[in-house]
Structure 1
């Protein structure tokens, strides 16, 4: 019943060989009977034959990591000699057969990562030899059975990522031989008494409560302790010092507080320690004494202390940490307040690759000895009080890809040696310091640099033309300096350039017209001394994406929205206009037939142009800002008035705000810090957004972490404002209260618009998973978190639940986002929410869509996507309309297939986001091609019926155009 075996593994299975010689078969030497069937990871496709139950001498079955479908044959229960059954990582369905309990010698049962349903069979209580039970990542229900506590031989249990529900039974505390535990639910105290337990892994399970003070004494054999991203609170047990075998400790994302008093000195094997995003710290003078004990952990390679309440000076003993340490994080967006000088001893950490000390109160100079950390890839010292000059010795860090020294009190020139680091591929950020001097031509050596930031300094001189050799640059921020001279025309060489901010300098000369050819999304040239004509194509055609104000009124032309004076016209230009008018008049007769077709398109466009959205009246603030104050946000929202309220989320409220300084409109998310998890949401969003850049992600402009006028903590994030609101408003306008103004704007999204939005969202998710600096999982994809700009381009927002994938630990995977995206896509196609009242029992949006494939898609789609208004009732038009309808149905079927493929139950079977983007783009291209052909043929079909009327309309349009041009020539002369 194996239908495909692409590796040819079954080629030997024929009568020309004795079956004991077949590949994957082991026989007993005495009886020549089959004892082992081993075909794991061979790419097998098919199902399991019930005849396997006749191999009565079988002791081991190894079929993991294939694509075996169908049910597990109950006949396997006949194999009374069977000791190990490996069927994990396949596509098996149905219930786990209770007959397996007849395999009384079974030691290991591995059924994880399938599609199994139902409950854990009660008959398994008779498997008294069972040591390892792994049935994680299925669709099992019915709770964790109490009888598992009676199988006292169990050494490892893995049941996580099912839908078992309920609590962990206290009877599991009887499993004295248990060494590995992976569960979900509420942890009973008896679990903490399993003295042989080596692996304790319960991340992402919404667990709460405190850990018992004796934990390290009772679980003295622990090697892995992983409880990340739950709701544990209280102090971390001092007795954990006795867990001398520990290799990995991960408690990030909880609510532990107080002094971290654990003595790590006896944990010789500790390699990974992550206590980030808690409230650890006591303010005592010796609260960092645990660092001293970590010096004995010679295998330590990862240490993360960010987002806690640690204070005081960093101990000099930090330089005594393991020579294996390659990642050290002691600062991030919030909380820690380390002060004093950076210990020189840190230069001993020769294998350090990632050092993040951002957002503390460190002072003094950057140790020149940091130039000896030759393995460094990322060095982040931003947002401190560091002073002095940037050590030229940092130029010795030849592996450095990212250097962030922003928002300090650094002075002097940028050392030329920095520009010799040819591996600098990520970003160079020196913003908001007191640096002087010029940018050396050696910047051209940074050929793979992605982002260059020197805003808000005292730099001067010309912008070197050699910057055009940084071929991978995407963002340049050089605002608020004293740069002079012209804008280098060499920027046209930067084919990936997306954002430029050269505002508030002394630049002069003309704006290079070659900038039109770049794929820019933002350009700020305001407050300089530029002159001449402003281009009108490319980025210059988008008033919301450029700023050229404050240039002493010496700029002219440009698009009308910029409200610049007209440029003086020379004589040759007058002749060109005159010749153009003559050309229009002379060619009138020759374009008559084309005019008929063009007139129709004018008529059709006038009828269909509604709902295109308003042009933005204000530029969006794009450049890097200093942190805004509570007072400025209060003023921008008129005291956080309800009239400015535009949304309410899980952890706070979102207001529309306007800054007085330049009239910039923004969205301000104010966290309700009284809600549990709000502070963690703020930290998670800051962490996720600090380095990601993509056209389909909501842009965070700045943040505010302060106190309000009553002395209460205040946290807010400031985002780019999205005038068209959320996708939720457009898909379900009747379910959401709207203002009269919003009701005028909201309409039914067309099929083409929905496909475009789906591609935007998929592109953003694909970037987060595969292309950003730290792979990121959003964890909360839904229509209310998809925001639409003025052009209905989609932007993914709300990263309050996002997870970064680094180091050991978190079980959250990108496949969860893929599932959410699939449900989102199905919601866009069907118009039905996944929480619709029609979905109950086993019927959900995924099954609803899957059952409609392939022949009943029309029964489930949103009918507004296939209905058209204003079509003329002619026989030829009816044929065209039917062809158009057929194309739409095919496109909708493809979208449903993609949505279903992304939301299947088994994570490993879900579609890859890169493939999603390609598939949807193909669907969009087909739809665009058919729409173009339809409009062309429809126009030709209608031409005979509307010829007299459209001839008049066409002639009137031509006459008005000619008169307008003649008036322009007359005014010129």
Structure 2
């Protein structure tokens, strides 16, 4: 037995205390008062010589000796440290200091208090190690040390506290193992080790099972190992909580022998196998929580234990979600007692119908069957669940209409039916007037948003009707929704104007109206929504100017006005000062704004509008002017037929001399060389013409076809203007100092280089630690798709890029992407573009190996769907991190096939690990959202890169779907943050 060196000293202290008597206690209390630095409730004001110390607040004395027996200073807001003189209070039995702000080390001198029975210092900021000599306090029955900052190991000496009944040390920073000496605590009934870093196995706790322990709480540690096969021998156990650890193996069948068990919580571990069918023997069971494990096999029979659990008449909560349970829901589910209040079956592999017997569970308040493979219709009898407050059926394959019986659920306040194939009108679901959350997104609902029901749903906080087939206008009755926090009616077929009454929904923070056919002006009334954070009206037909009062929305974090018909001057204050959170592209009549938006400067007429008299004059003269213009165009075309296009250079681009570029690049120095391509080299330079840093592309005119690419690139870039297309600044067509022909193009400099260098740093000699996170990659994919969509569908003459690849995507300071290198670009006629045909290739097979659509290699003509193929390969490259020419792609395997084969088994195994590392800090919940979005993205890339042309997706559809994925991910992350 280990010698206690403190014992002689303890006798000395006791002797001194007996001698000094009451004075010792008084001085000890005064020493403690001296270290109190803040006393908001003025507790210490009574600790003075005008009263006997036994009358001081928080002090209780023994009657016989008038010595301090208890210090009850809990929840007083005290700040300071604990004096070592506390060890002089030799008659102290109770020390209650919880819910204060004490800091520093917990004094070792507490070990001198041999009469001590109760210590509670929970919820302070004590640090350092737990004093080992507290084991001398042999009468200690209760020890609460939780919610502090204790470090180190749990002292093995605690095992000598034979009278200890309660040991609670959760929420500290303890490490190391649990000493087997704890098995000596034969009186222990409650053990709580939660929220530490104790990497031990459950086998180290086996010695506890034969004693009186009633509660084991060890959740949120690093505990591992299997659950003991003889679990049932813990005959007194009532509460067993080991969630959020690393336990593995099966649930032991002996569990059914723990007859006193009331709460079984093994959530968020790695438990495998089946739930024992004899679990129904636990007659005292109230909560059965096994969610977030690896239970089940995805096959029939996984849910056989449900029938057994119906024998547990006290069961109130059953949670099995986030496992791999398969099979159909048994009809016995309706046999649970009326004690059952919450049922969580989401995120499994359950199939079949929802049994109509569900209507028997009259006490249910929460029902969640989300993210399974459940089919059929929603049972009509579900409306009989009068106590149900939350119903979650999203992410299944439910069909048919919403049963009208839902209106009878008088306590239902949250209804989630998204991601199914439900159809018909939505009126019945809106007739529940106490609903706070309604999510019907991603279904096939038709008809209108009903006005009457909307006006009565005054408690609605979140309304999501997005991704349906709803038509007609947004009812003005939305203005009655004073509590509305989020409105999402995006991706429908809504028409009409944005109702001005929307500005009366004073609580609105999120408005998503994108992807409809809305028209008219942006209501200035939206500027009165002082708490508005997100406004997205993109991809509509909105016209007019941006309301000036939008600048005053102080909490606005994101505004997307892109792809509309807005005109006039863009504001420059408020949120409009930050180009990274404002999107206005695709509104080709907008001007002004901050420089980063890259909009043309506003003329005086665009600021002031066109005078009425001029409008009338134009109305009279315009038809005649158009006729003259048409005749002039015909004449000019005939006149220019004989001129070789290779000799015609854009007249509207300011030329620079060879000498200018020679100086700008320090003589085309190799130190300024930033890239080499098929037809030339690119240099970084500083141009003394108010352009600052530029990129100079010098054509290698010895290369066959280089002159044609120069003209093609000039003509293309002159004809386009888009924020995601590389901007040409000037050109040079001259001779060098030796009299040789010289041609160069000057572009804006993109400081973050090419997308290729970020996706493949090891192949480009770049910093291996730099990488792109999920959000950055998705933004880049959207920006590139926007550029391609503009070229194909929004230019006066459709343009095919013909060389879409990662090295032709360049990134500026804020990682905004621009598509460059138009040396192979081709203009198409409208008729040719529509039929996906084109003129004959003039420069061989257009494109780069790996990205070239297969039909080009067989002599087919260029087409917009050829660009779509290249974009699909690029999209897969962005998210898998693999080039299409990677060494692994051989013997017929392609990046397309590699991605396609992964879909049925989960895409996390094929996506870029660097991207996943960037997202790890967001936790498992965020990872689930990312995995869902990644699956959708890879499907888009696979569809775009199909070998058969007619199986590919149009780029406008690609853009719409990517925007939807981004919207979905943004909303998902917002929910997690909130």
Q: Secondary structure at the match of 2:438?
A: strand
Q: 1:375 aligns with which of 393, 401, 411?
A: 411
Partner residue of 2:503? 468
The structure whose Rg is larger is 2
Structure 1 residues 254 and 463, CA gap change in structure 2 (3 angstroms): same
Q: 1:179 aligns with which of 193, 208, 214?
A: 214
- The separation in 2 between residues aligned to 1:574 and 1:653, in whole angstroms, is 41
Structure 1 residues 684 and 313, CA gap change in structure 2 (3 angstroms): farther
Offset of 1:34 from its aligned partner?
3.8
Contact 1:326/1:353, CA 8 A, preserved across alignment: yes
Superposed CA deviations along residues 842-872 of structure 1, whole A, max 9, x for unmatched, are xxxxxxxxxxxxxxxxxxxxxxxxxxxxxxx
Contact 2:182/2:208, CA 8 A, preserved across alignment: no
Contact 2:724/2:786, CA 8 A, preserved across alignment: no
Count of aligned pairs: 661
Structure 1, 1-10 or 363-372: larger mean CA deviation = 1-10
Partner residue of 1:419? 454
- The separation in 1 between residues aligned to 2:471 and 2:584, in whole angstroms, is 26
Offset of 1:386 from its aligned partner?
1.1
Partner residue of 2:902? none
- The separation in 1 between residues aligned to 2:464 and 2:237, in whole angstroms, is 47
Q: 1:129 aligns with which of 136, 157, 163?
A: 163
Q: Secondary structure at the match of 1:483?
A: coil
Structure 1 residues 531 and 565, CA gap change in structure 2 (3 angstroms): farther
Structure 1 residues 606 and 542, CA gap change in structure 2 (3 angstroms): farther
- The separation in 1 between residues aligned to 2:395 and 2:921, in whole angstroms, is 12
Partner residue of 1:914? none
- The separation in 2 between residues aligned to 1:144 and 1:439, in whole angstroms, is 62
Contact 1:369/1:393, CA 8 A, preserved across alignment: no
Contact 1:533/1:567, CA 8 A, preserved across alignment: no
Q: 2:724 aligns with which of 604, 618, 643?
A: 618
Structure 1 residues 253 and 494, CA gap change in structure 2 (3 angstroms): same
Gaps of 5+ in 1: 576-602, 621-635, 692-696, 722-763, 777-973
Partner residue of 2:393? 357
TM-score if structure 1 supplies the norm length?
0.59
Offset of 1:457 from its aligned partner?
2.7
Offset of 1:91 from its aligned partner?
3.0
Structure 1 residues 194 and 570, CA gap change in structure 2 (3 angstroms): closer
Offset of 1:475 from its aligned partner?
3.5
Contact 2:908/2:931, CA 8 A, preserved across alignment: no
Partner residue of 2:374? 338
Partner residue of 2:269? 230
- The separation in 2 between residues aligned to 1:178 and 1:544, in whole angstroms, is 58
Contact 2:231/2:255, CA 8 A, preserved across alignment: no
Listed as ranges, the matches of 1:254-653 within 5 Å are 254-258=293-297, 259-260=302-303, 261-262=305-306, 263-281=308-326, 283=327, 285=328, 287-289=329-331, 291-294=333-336, 296-298=337-339, 300-323=340-363, 325-331=364-370, 334=371, 336-392=372-428, 394-397=430-433, 399-421=434-456, 423-424=458-459, 426-508=461-543, 512=547, 515=550, 518=553, 519=556, 521-526=558-563, 530=565, 533-535=568-570, 537-538=572-573, 555=589, 557-558=591-592, 569=605, 617-618=723-724
Superposed CA deviations along residues 166-211 of structure 1, whole A, max 9, x for unmatched, are 4341542444311111234224615553121112112222222222
Superposed CA deviations along residues 555-596 of structure 1, whole A, max 9, x for unmatched, are 364568666797684999999xxxxxxxxxxxxxxxxxxxxx
Offset of 1:142 from its aligned partner?
4.2
- The separation in 2 between residues aligned to 1:683 and 1:70, in whole angstroms, is 31
Offset of 1:233 from its aligned partner?
1.5
Q: 1:145 aligns with which of 159, 179, 192?
A: 179
Structure 1 residues 768 and 148, CA gap change in structure 2 (3 angstroms): farther
Structure with the bigger RCO (C-alpha within 8 Å, sep 6+) is 1
- The separation in 2 between residues aligned to 1:120 and 1:444, in whole angstroms, is 60
- The separation in 2 between residues aligned to 1:120 and 1:550, in whole angstroms, is 64
Superposed CA deviations along residues 648-700 of structure 1, whole A, max 9, x for unmatched, are 79999978646656548686479754599x99999997955999xxxxx9997
Structure 1, 484-493 or 501-510: larger mean CA deviation = 501-510
Contact 2:907/2:931, CA 8 A, preserved across alignment: no
Partner residue of 2:116? 82
Superposed CA deviations along residues 505-562 of structure 1, whole A, max 9, x for unmatched, are 45555555555555473333525xx4753535356677776666777x7x36456866
- The separation in 1 between residues aligned to 2:552 and 2:96, in whole angstroms, is 59
Offset of 1:446 from its aligned partner?
1.8
Partner residue of 2:238? 198
Contact 2:334/2:359, CA 8 A, preserved across alignment: no
Structure 1 residues 371 and 690, CA gap change in structure 2 (3 angstroms): farther
Listed as ranges, the matches of 1:822-901 within 5 Å are none
Contact 1:150/1:174, CA 8 A, preserved across alignment: no
Structure 1 residues 660 and 88, CA gap change in structure 2 (3 angstroms): closer
Q: Secondary structure at the match of 1:428?
A: strand
Structure 1 residues 222 and 650, CA gap change in structure 2 (3 angstroms): farther
- The separation in 2 between residues aligned to 1:391 and 1:574, in whole angstroms, is 46
Partner residue of 1:910? none
Offset of 1:279 from its aligned partner?
1.0
Partner residue of 1:930? none
Contact 1:152/1:174, CA 8 A, preserved across alignment: no
- The separation in 1 between residues aligned to 2:540 and 2:610, in whole angstroms, is 36
